[in-house]
Amino acid sequence: MTIKLLLATNNKGKVKEYRSLLEGLPLELVTLAEISIKADIAETGSTYEENARIKAQVLAGQSGLPSLADDSGLEVDALNGEPGVRSARYAGEEATDAERVKYLLNKLSGVPLNGRQARFVCVIAVAAPGGRVEICSGECSGLITFGPTGELGFGYDPVFYFPELDKTMAELTMHEKNRISHRGKAARQVLAALKKLGLL
C-alpha cells in the first residue's frame, strides 16, 4: 500500500532533501504547488515543535492528506542559542540565504573558531487529516566557519563545519548529508510515526 504524503513546505531545497530521505518508503510525496495550496502560515510558535505542529495540522486539514511539516534552525552557543526558531527570519523577513549567512558571520566577528560551536536542530510533525500528530526530531553538531565554503545545500550549510570530516554541510553530497544531518536523523523516524498514526 502506498499513501500520499503532503510535504508542507515551499522551500525547494527541503523538498529535494525529503524526496531523497524518504525514497524507498511506501509514500507518494506531493508538494503544495502540485495540489495548488498556498501555505502562508504564520510561524507563531516559540519552539520548533509548535511551529511544525501548526503547519502540519493546518495543511492536513486543508488538503485532507497526511502532512509532514518541519521547523528547523541553527543554534550558536556564542550567541546564546541564536538564531534558533528565528533562523529563516534572522536577517529580516525578505533576506536571502547569502544575506542571512553574512548577518550571522558579522554577529560572530572576533569570535575564534574554538568558540563557534553550533548545532542544527530539526523537528518534524506528521499530522493525520483528523488532527492527530506524531513528532520526530534530530540534531547535529559542528562549528561556524569564518566564510562560506561549498556550493551544495542551502541556508546556513556553507558555514556549518564538521571538524571530523573537514567539510562544511555545503560540501557534502546529498547521500553524505542525509546520513549525518539533523533532518536526516529526524526523517528516519517518519515511517514509525506514520505507523503510530495508523496511516501505514
| C-alpha cell belonging to residue 115 | 568558540
On whether the CB atoms of residues 155 and 182 are closer than 8 A, the answer is no
**Cα distance between residue 138 and residue 188, in whole Å:** 9
CA distance 22 to 3: 13
Q: Which long-range contacts (CB under 8 A, 24 or more apart) does 76-81 make?
A: 76/104, 76/108, 76/116, 76/117, 76/118, 76/144, 77/115, 77/116, 77/117, 77/118, 78/108, 78/111, 78/115, 78/116, 78/117, 79/107, 79/108
To the query of whether residue 157 is one of the catalytic residues in this protein, the response is: no
Distance, CA of 66 to CA of 7 (rounded, Å): 9
Of 40, 70, 71, 166, the active-site residue reads 71
Q: Which residues are catalytic?
A: 71
